[in-house]
Amino acid sequence: MIKLISKKPLSEVCEINPRDVNGLSSDSLITFVPMSAVNEKTGSISTPEIRPYAKVVKGYTPFKDRDVLFAKITPCMENGKCAIAKNLENGRGFGSTEFHILRAGDKIIPEWVYFFLRQDEVRKFAANNMTGTAGQQRVPRSVFDRLLIPLPPLPVQKQIAAVLEKADAAREKRSQANQLTEQFLQSAFLEMFGDPITNPKGWNIVQFGDIVSSTKLGIVRGSSEQSSSFPLNYVKMNNIVGDGYLDLSNVTRVRASNHEVDEYSLRVGDFLFNTRNSLELVGKTALFLRDGLYLFNNNILRVRFLSSVRSEYINQLFQTRWIQHELDKRKSGTTSVFAIYYKELKTLPIMLPPYSEQERFAALVKKVESLRAKQLESEKELGNLFQSLMQKAFKGELVKK
């Protein structure tokens, strides 16, 4: 068995954040990749845009075909947003400033870099070395000076990458099945209530603030009053994933005071809204549907509604184009930090059908959530297998003589 002895820092075998190579006219078309276009589960670029070069040459991150895109901001990095740029218009692309770009040198192939970065251990190392304020932490470029990647011969890299690609394809098929489940719920919503943009059934329109019974921003991780006798589950922004879904398979554990437990615990049916982060992540929502004691981060707004409103209906409404457009108008901030707080959220227009109709939809959500839980368990098993294969690959255990 061949041992992978030679290791080099990523920054020695890849060019990190290369500059734009120019060479295109202002009206040349290129591929634009916002953070939301990168699927954190499959590593694919699913919804790229085509834009004129002149519109993106300033203020965005340049890359080209075969470059590796690695999200540097929390929670995108922890969630696994990483991809290889392929089939770019004119071979060129620009994207979110929240990407690090790694361009493979002559001793390494992009697939080897990509799978190395997809490892849980690598992402944990990157997370532990983030800089910046809470909720807006980023992986600094210097991390790539410290990450050592094994360097087998190029043919061996290609051989192992082919094995990992097959395992990754199995995961992608499972993920696609889960996406169909999510699409079903959105289709059922539109069938029952109609498109909120046109409101064909003439439902009442109210303001978000009119249907809220209470709101609360969460706590900062690491309370000064450490009175709980054991660590408690702590929901952060990176737990809000996908189309209104809360993934609690990997939560942080923290200690908190008795007062914080009373004030900031979650209960079934709570509506969670991400108030601060990058432009793409502000406004993400989810429902808390889990038994047990969980607290929540201070970038998350916990909302409880009046008894005449079902949070299942509201959460799905927030996935529609109508609400997303309204949220976009309420986002404010700099080039990297955006926010929507309750003072802007309370004026949001809400299409509100009768409670009986909301209740019918809530019953459907319960069935779908049960199915999704089973699918996610299957996906988790495939994910564990995939991580195991990658660990073996980068320790040399998949390399044959």
> Is the same domain home to 146 and 182?
no
Query: Could you please report the per-residue DSSP string of 282-350?
Result: TT-EEE----S-EEEBTTEEEEEE-TTS-HHHHHHHTTSHHHHHHHHHH-EE-SS-EE--HHHHTT-EE
Q: How far is Cα 196 from Cα 348, in angstroms, rounded to an integer?
A: 13
Strand partners, 38: 45
> Is the same domain home to 286 and 200?
yes
171, 42 in Cβ contact below 8 A?
yes
Q: Residue 141 falls within a domain, yes or no?
A: yes
State the pLDDT at residue 82: 95
H or E segment to which residue 393 belongs: helix 355-395
**Which parts of the chain have pLDDT scores under 50?**
1-4, 222-225, 398-401
Q: How far is Cα 102 from Cα 61, in angstroms, rounded to an integer?
A: 12
State the pLDDT at residue 133: 76
Residue 151: closest CA among 85, 103, 118, 106: 106
User: What are the strands, taking DSSP E only, across 21-154?
Assistant: 29-33, 49-52, 61-64, 68-71, 82-84, 92-95, 99-104, 148-150
42, 177 in Cβ contact below 8 A?
no
> Is the same domain home to 43 and 118?
yes
Q: Residue 384 falls within a domain, yes or no?
A: no
Q: How far is Cα 343 from Cα 215, in angstroms, rounded to an integer?
A: 11
> Is the same domain home to 158 and 199?
no
> Is the same domain home to 149 and 195?
no
Q: In what order do the strands lie in the sheet with 61-64?
A: 49-52, 29-33, 92-95, 61-64
State the pLDDT at residue 173: 74
Phi, then psi, of 275 in degrees rounded to 5: -90, -30
Q: Residue 70 falls within a domain, yes or no?
A: yes
Q: Residue 267 falls within a domain, yes or no?
A: yes
State the pLDDT at residue 95: 94
> Is the same domain home to 47 and 181?
no
- CATH number of the domain enclosing 31: 3.90.220.20
Of the residues 115, 139, 164, the one at which a domain ends? 164
- pTM to 2 decimal places: 0.62
Q: Residue 325 falls within a domain, yes or no?
A: yes
Q: Residue 381 falls within a domain, yes or no?
A: no
State the pLDDT at residue 291: 86
State how many domains the chain has. 2
> Is the same domain home to 159 and 195?
no
Query: Could you please report the per-residue DSSP string of 75-91?
Result: THHHHT-EEE--S-GGG
> Is the same domain home to 98 and 227?
no
List, in sequence order, the alpha helices (H) in 194-317. Answer: 258-264, 311-317
pLDDT per position as a tens digit, 52-75:
999 998 889 999 999 999 999 988
Of the residues 128, 143, 164, the one at which a domain ends? 164
State the pLDDT at residue 229: 62
> Is the same domain home to 242 and 131?
no
Residue 230's Cβ-side half-sphere holds a number of Cα atoms within 13 Å equal to 3
Distance of CA 289 to the CA centre of its chain: 19
pLDDT per position as a tens digit, 88-146:
999 999 999 999 999 999 999 999 999 999 998 999 999 999 998 766 789 999 999 99
> Is the same domain home to 187 and 281?
yes
Which domain does 48 fall in, by range? 7-164
H or E segment to which residue 274 belongs: strand 271-274
Q: Residue 396 falls within a domain, yes or no?
A: no
To which residue do tokens 């009986």 refer? Answer: 356
> At CA 20, angle to CA 72 and CA 66, rounded to 5?
65
Q: Residue 388 falls within a domain, yes or no?
A: no
> Is the same domain home to 93 and 201?
no
> Is the same domain home to 237 and 139?
no
